[in-house]
Amino acid sequence: MALQDLTPQLRTRLSRLERVVGIFVVLATVLLLAGLAYYVYSTAERKGWFKRKLPYFTYVGSGTGLQVGDPIRLMGFPAGRVTQIEAMPPYQDQYGDVFVQFEIVEPYEGYIWEDSVARVEPANFLGGRYIEITKGTNSAPTYIFDSYEDVSLPEAQSRTAPNFVFSQEIWDDAITNYVVRVGNRVTPAVLSRLQAMGINTIQISDKSKKSPKPSGIWDEKAGKYARVEGEKKKGYWVHVDETPAVTERLQKIANQVEEALPNFLALTNTLVRALTNIDAVARHTDELLVSAKPVVTNFAKISENLSGPQGTLGDWLIPTNVNAQLTMTLASANTNVNLISSNLLATLDNVANLTSNLNAQVQANGLILSEISRLIANADDMVQGLKRNWLLRGSFGAQTNAPVESVIKPRLAPK
Amino acid sequence: MKPQIPNLKHQRSTHHQGWCGVPGIWKFFGIWILAFGFCGCRSAKPPPEPPVAVARAERSRAQARGLSEQQNWVGAAAEWRNAAKEASLLNDGAREAAALHNLADTERQLQQYETAFSNALAAAQINEALGRKEDWWRNQILLLQIEDLQTNGSPAERLDRLVPRIAESNDPGTRGAFWNELGLWQQREKKLDEAAETFLRAQSEYEGGKDRAGVATVIANRAKLLEAQGENELAARMWADALRRFEALGEPIAIAHALLGQGRALMAAKKDLPQADMHLRRAARNFRHLQLLDEAAEADELVRRLNAGQ
């Protein structure tokens, strides 16, 4: 029905309604767009779309458990993500078999220095791994954002203001101490020392001139910064400290246990032998004591005779039979003591090996056990939650145990 | 032509009945979407944790029940003793009596008849004080079983006392077990016809209660009674029926007894002797697997006699 067909009053009412609807639609659209914009903005902030990202790379022995998009951690924070994982071409694997490139989001690049290491750690017991970059402690930052240039020493004399600092590392001739370190102020004393060392040019940066993009990347070999161009655009090479995946470690442990088992059995055999020897020694000692009894009696007689007028000390003290007996006893005791000590030494060595192996295994297993424990606890929590869900609880059967009651069963006729 | 004016009054009245102009179909779907959105993701709050002592007692009972089902009688006895103690500490008479009853039953299996008797008696006293009639009946039947097994005991006096009252029990399983015990006693007393009648009553009670294990056991007892009555052929057929039922129930000990019984009855009836030999050998082997060496020896002796042609 066309609007013109209606009465004027109805037309007025309907056009008012249309206006209200129009305002509502516009408002809803504005709200929707505002919500979308806010969502996009918050997502961008959360994911760091507006932040500076700097490339780094490393080489690892195996790409197991690593994936593009995996977070990079730094001091426990997510500081970036993996952007590329590629196998190295054949015969070009001198640095590592797998090339891993990643980007670090500002401001975390400030913590990555020359001595930072990319530690590849097991993430879970299913073979996953993650990369954690260690914080730099004692060297140069990997990227520089200040303006810098290589200047001759005479020119450097004019750059001793507080905003000028060295952006180069120079060791003394003995290579034991730094003469110049990155970030040290330029002073005439240092410059004269450099002159004395025969150095002609030095790299100096101006802290007052900063740029949002990195002006240089650290060149480990040259000990100073280089322009980010050409090959350097690939990023900074962070050295790797790689731990194999948990599954590989478990396999190694299993192999180790398998290898250690014969040693352990040998150890038990050795222990049994040692105990047998100790038992034999104890028996010998007992025999020795029994055989020593007449000797003591003889000594008593000797002492009695010595107090008398007859007999010489030599005759009484060691008659021929006693001499032979004593020699035999001492020889036997000596042999036994040597045997015991050698057996004990072997036993102690084996025990030390065993405990060190056990210690290594316990250290390796600690993380896995806690992971497994957490997994089980979380899985239990989830299942308990599902059991209480009104939609799903029917699938789990009775929630309580059957009440305990006395049971009586019919008896078969006895014989 | 004058345009036709629609009945706006009617339209307006229906318009204001719902939610500010939301069409009915959207209202319908909206309610369901809201309901599912709200309830579908909703889980009830976890129940409060029971007190530590209650949880410990429940754990002991569950453990004991599991051990009893596995027929690990030594372990089960220790756990039922523990469960009885835990229930006593909580002043939970019903559970204490149940634990004592099951402890007594376990001790019966271990042939510790004196302690079994005293524990069953203690359970009966508690149930009597609490007015738990059905449990008290079960205690009484267990006492009957123990008295029958004790060398210096006899269930006669207790049976005389209970026979007039057995109808008080509402549980067909309990009544079936009682009649079964009475039948066994009558068989022992050589009242074979009375025993046959009593076993039939027991079987009928178990059938009424749909207790397949009870029915199978009574059939086995009837088979043995038939052997005593000299009806060996019939007994063999009844043993075969019992064997089939025990196989369906998966009861290893009862299966071994049924194999022995069937072999013995066939041997006595001098029918199908190769099958009798096979049954007896299988029974002997099964008894050995079950560590029931007396029964295994009996089966071996029967095999020996069968092969000797006696």
Give chain A's domain count: 3
- At B193, is the pLDDT very low, low, confident or very high (cuts 50, 70, 90)? very high
Residues of A in contact with B6 (CB under 8 A): 1
- Is A406–B218 a contact, with Cβ atoms under 8 angstroms apart? no
Tell me the average pLDDT across A315-340. Answer: 78
pLDDT digits (tens, 9 = 90+) for B216-267: 999 999 999 999 999 999 999 999 999 999 999 998 999 999 999 999 999 9
- At A388, is the pLDDT very low, low, confident or very high (cuts 50, 70, 90)? confident
Residues of B in contact with A412 (CB under 8 A): 217, 220-221, 254, 257
Domain membership flag for residue A217: no
Tell me the average pLDDT across A149-167. Answer: 89
Together in a domain, B113 and B132? yes
Residue with more model confidence, B172 or A303: B172
Residues of B in contact with A384 (CB under 8 A): 46
Domain membership flag for residue B247: yes
pLDDT digits (tens, 9 = 90+) for A162-179: 889 999 988 888 778 888
A402 pLDDT higher than 70: no
Domain membership flag for residue B36: no
At A2 the pLDDT is 60
Together in a domain, A303 and A337? yes
Residues of A in contact with B101 (CB under 8 A): 406-407
Q: Mapping DSSP to helix (H, G, I), strand (E, B) and coil, where does residue A226 land?
A: strand
Domain membership flag for residue B8: no
Contact B291, B260 (CB under 8 A): no
- Is B142–A414 a contact, with Cβ atoms under 8 angstroms apart? no
- Is B138–A406 a contact, with Cβ atoms under 8 angstroms apart? yes
At A400 the pLDDT is 56
Together in a domain, B109 and B136? yes
Domain membership flag for residue A98: yes
Domain membership flag for residue B88: yes
Residues of A in contact with B46 (CB under 8 A): 384, 388
How distant is the alpha carbon of residue B203 from its chain centre?
Answer: 15
Last residue of a domain, one of A102, A133, A164: A133
Together in a domain, A128 and A152? no
Chain A nearest CA to B41, separation (Å): 8
Chain A nearest CA to B153, separation (Å): 15
Domain membership flag for residue A189: yes
Together in a domain, B166 and B140? no
Residue of chain B minimizing CA distance to A8 = B5
Provide, rounded to the nearest whole percent, the portion of chain B with pLDDT above 70.
Answer: 89
Residues of B in contact with A405 (CB under 8 A): 98, 135
| Residue A213, Cβ density class (10 Å: 0-12 exposed, 13-18 middle, ≥19 buried) | exposed
User: d(Cα B185, Cα B148) in Å, to the nearest integer?
Assistant: 8
B46 pLDDT higher than 80: no
Chain A nearest CA to B137, separation (Å): 10
Together in a domain, A251 and A374? yes
- Is B3–A5 a contact, with Cβ atoms under 8 angstroms apart? yes
Residues of B in contact with A404 (CB under 8 A): 61, 65, 83, 95, 98-99, 102
Tell me the average pLDDT across A384-388. Answer: 79
Residues of B in contact with A6 (CB under 8 A): 3
Of A7, A391, A410, the CB nearest to B176: A410
Chain B nearest CA to A368, separation (Å): 29
At A311 the pLDDT is 52
User: d(Cα B223, Cα B211) in Å, to the nearest integer?
Assistant: 19
Together in a domain, B261 and B291? yes
At A383 the pLDDT is 83
Tell me the average pLDDT across B185-191. Answer: 93
At B41 the pLDDT is 66
- Is A406–B139 a contact, with Cβ atoms under 8 angstroms apart? yes
Write down the mean pLDDT value for chain A: 83
Domain membership flag for residue B29: no
Together in a domain, A175 and A284? no
Residue of chain B minimizing CA distance to A5 = B3
Together in a domain, B237 and B307? yes
For chain A, the residues whose C-beta falls within 8 A of a C-beta of chain B are 1, 5-7, 10, 384-386, 388-391, 393, 401, 404-415
At A281 the pLDDT is 86
List the domain range (segments joined by +) for residue B171. Answer: 162-210
Taking the CB of residue A234, how many other CB atoms lie within 10 A of it? 15
B179 contact partners, CB below 8 Å, separation of at least 6? B166, B198, B199, B201, B202, B205
Chain B nearest CA to A46, separation (Å): 27
List the domain range (segments joined by +) for residue A269. Answer: 246-383
Tell me the average pLDDT across B29-48. Answer: 72
Locate the DSSP E strands across A227-278.
Answer: 236-237, 239-242
Write down the mean pLDDT value for chain B: 87
Residue of chain A minimizing CA distance to B42 = A389
Last residue of a domain, one of A210, A234, A261: A210
Residue with more model confidence, B13 or A329: A329
Q: Which amino acid is at A352?
A: A
Domain membership flag for residue A225: no
Together in a domain, A264 and A377? yes
Of A388, A406, A415, the CB nearest to B98: A406
Chain B nearest CA to A403, separation (Å): 9
- List, as one string, the DSSP characters of A302-339: HHHHHHSSS--HHHHHS-HHHHHHHHHHHHHHHHHHHH
Give chain B's domain count: 3
pLDDT digits (tens, 9 = 90+) for B154-163: 899 999 999 9
Domain membership flag for residue B39: no
- Is B99–A414 a contact, with Cβ atoms under 8 angstroms apart? no
- At A404, is the pLDDT very low, low, confident or very high (cuts 50, 70, 90)? low
Residues of B in contact with A410 (CB under 8 A): 176-177, 180, 202, 206, 213-214, 217-218, 221
Number of alpha carbons in the 13 Å side-chain half-sphere of residue A282: 6
At B23 the pLDDT is 63
Tell me the average pLDDT across A45-69. Answer: 87
Sheet containing strand A129-133, strands side by side:
A236-237, A53-60, A98-105, A77-87, A71-74, A129-133, A117-122, A239-242
B110 contact partners, CB below 8 Å, separation of at least 6? B73, B74, B77
Together in a domain, A156 and A127? no
Residues of B in contact with A13 (CB under 8 A): none
Chain B nearest CA to A407, separation (Å): 7
Domain membership flag for residue A8: no
- Is A10–B8 a contact, with Cβ atoms under 8 angstroms apart? yes
User: d(Cα A142, Cα A218) in Å, to the nearest integer?
Assistant: 5
Q: Which of A218-232, A379-393, B80-94 has the lowest mean pLDDT?
A: A379-393
Together in a domain, B148 and B171? no
- Is B98–A391 a contact, with Cβ atoms under 8 angstroms apart? no
Chain A nearest CA to B268, separation (Å): 16
Residues of A in contact with B42 (CB under 8 A): 389-390
Domain membership flag for residue A411: no
Together in a domain, A61 and A120? yes
Domain membership flag for residue B47: no
Together in a domain, B183 and B272? no
- List, as one string, the DSSP characters of B35-79: HHHHHHT-BPPPPPPPPHHHHHHHHHHHHHHHHHHTT-HHHHHHH
Domain membership flag for residue A232: no
- Is A391–B40 a contact, with Cβ atoms under 8 angstroms apart? yes
Chain B nearest CA to A409, separation (Å): 7
Tell me the average pLDDT across A25-44. Answer: 93
Task: Using the CB atoms, write b or e for B154-174: b if 16+ within 10 Å.
Answer: ebeebbeebeeebeebebbbb
Together in a domain, A250 and A300? yes
Last residue of a domain, one of A164, A188, A210: A210
- Is B95–A404 a contact, with Cβ atoms under 8 angstroms apart? yes
Together in a domain, A373 and A318? yes
At B2 the pLDDT is 42
Domain membership flag for residue A259: yes
Task: Kindly tell me the sign of the dihedral angle through the C-alpha atoms of B107, B111, B113, B114.
Answer: negative
- Is B187–A7 a contact, with Cβ atoms under 8 angstroms apart? no
Name the strand (E) or helix (H) holding A299.
helix A246-307
Residues of B in contact with A12 (CB under 8 A): none
Together in a domain, A79 and A181? no
Q: Which amino acid is at A225?
A: Y
B15 pLDDT higher than 50: no
Together in a domain, B205 and B178? yes
B84 pLDDT higher than 80: yes
At B4 the pLDDT is 46
Residues of A in contact with B83 (CB under 8 A): 404
Q: How many residue pairs from chains A and B have C-beta atoms closer than 8 A?
A: 90
Together in a domain, B106 and B132? yes
Domain membership flag for residue B190: yes
Together in a domain, A74 and A199? no
Together in a domain, A337 and A379? yes
Tell me the average pLDDT across B158-174. Answer: 92
Q: Where are the alpha helices (H) located in A57-172, listed in sequence order?
A: 153-156
| CATH code assigned at B102 | 1.25.40.10
Chain A nearest CA to B39, separation (Å): 8
